[in-house]
Amino acid sequence: MAGAVMLSTMIQAHKPDLWMVLVVSLVVICIQARSNDDGTIFLERGNPGILSCPPVASGRIPLDQIDVMYWYFPRVRDENILISYFLGIVAPQNGILDGVYDINDNFSLVIENVTDSDEGTYYCRVKPKLEVMVDGQVTKRVKVSPKEPFPDVTQCTELISETACEAELPNDIKKPRLTCIVRDAKPAVALRWLLEYSDGDTQLIGERFTVQPSEYLVNTFTTSASIPVIVSDGDKFTYICQAYGEALGARNGSHVTPQTLYLTSTQPTTSLTVMPSMLGFTSAMKDAPDSSQNAVIGLAVALCLSLAVVVGLVSAVCKMRKPGQTNGIQLPADNHTDCETTDPLNEQSVM
């Protein structure tokens, strides 16, 4: 009873310090639990990679207490031993060439060149001094980081900064859209669109995206997300496209802000010309004369028509009148001189 009273007195006297000890202890316990869990490690394809053995990485087994160690893949069988450590000697097993795998000073497995075929679960077995064998496992997945810059907005034509670009949207499109894309990544990344207002608040406006196999890089994926552009005369806002996923590594959560710029239509106006032949008619196409030409042509046509009328009238009168008669009066034949013509060659009149 006295011990309980003393403990209560100590707690009341050192209450802040005790709470600090409890918090620190809780954090340590959480860290140890997280370290002991068999998590998934992502290694970059085409680069060297390192896999840690959980019992060793957690500090459960001191490095100087390890006598024997084996690394297995994909199962714990003698024929699946990749490499071993025995009293300071590291040796590849089962015909594996030197340099493909190694065990470093932290007893982690070193993979010289990470490939897609290396994906799976790796097993480690450790024999501390004077203790039984301890097992551990770690799952390895291959990742392919996208090329920078990412994410990318397809309508952007110029980078303003690392996280901003200038997007061009023709104003002759009724419903313009912005499309965000991340190419050639493994595993596929996720995308979402946000609106950021002038006061700094953000609003999620789209988290639907499409994932397709990449066309250029084998066994990678391309993610895209498209949203309609909102036209508002009220509060000012900007668009933000955010990408997140294991393939982004340290740049998980990267974003880009497109500054939209509307352009006038640069497309030529198209017109349809209907030809007479299309309607069942035929016509001859001529160049239209200008106004001065119209006046000259009109005068010439009028003169020609007047001359034609005069000639026609004279010809008609000549045909209607008979020789020796005029208005019903008989004239002598030798005195008839109407409608005679003169031969310019012999200066003789021909009746």
The pLDDT value given to residue 197:
87
CA atoms within 13 A on the CB side of 123: 13
Amino acid at 246: E
The pLDDT value given to residue 270:
30
Q: What is the largest CA-CA distance in the chain?
A: 181
The pLDDT value given to residue 234:
56
The pLDDT value given to residue 130:
92
* pTM over 0.85, yes/no: no
Domain 152-263 has CATH 2.60.40.10: yes
Residue 157: CB atoms within 10 Å = 11
The pLDDT value given to residue 132:
95
Find out whether 202 and 238 touch, Cβ atoms under 8 Å. no
Q: What is the CATH number assigned to the segment(s) 37-143? A: 2.60.40.10
Q: Where in the chain is the domain with CATH 2.60.40.10?
A: 37-143, 152-263
The pLDDT value given to residue 116:
95
d(Cα 38, Cα 139) in Å, to the nearest integer? 7
Find out whether 225 and 154 touch, Cβ atoms under 8 Å. no
State the Rg of the chain over Cα: 50
- Which residue's entry shows tokens 């000890």? 21
Those residues of the chain that have pLDDT short of 50 are 1-38, 266-291, 324-351
DSSP state of 116: G
The helix (H) or strand (E) run that includes residue 301 is helix 291-320
The pLDDT value given to residue 27:
31
DSSP state of 7: H
**What six digits make up the tokens of 258?**
């497109």
Residue 56: CB atoms within 10 Å = 22
**What six digits make up the tokens of 25?**
């202890």
The pLDDT value given to residue 273:
27
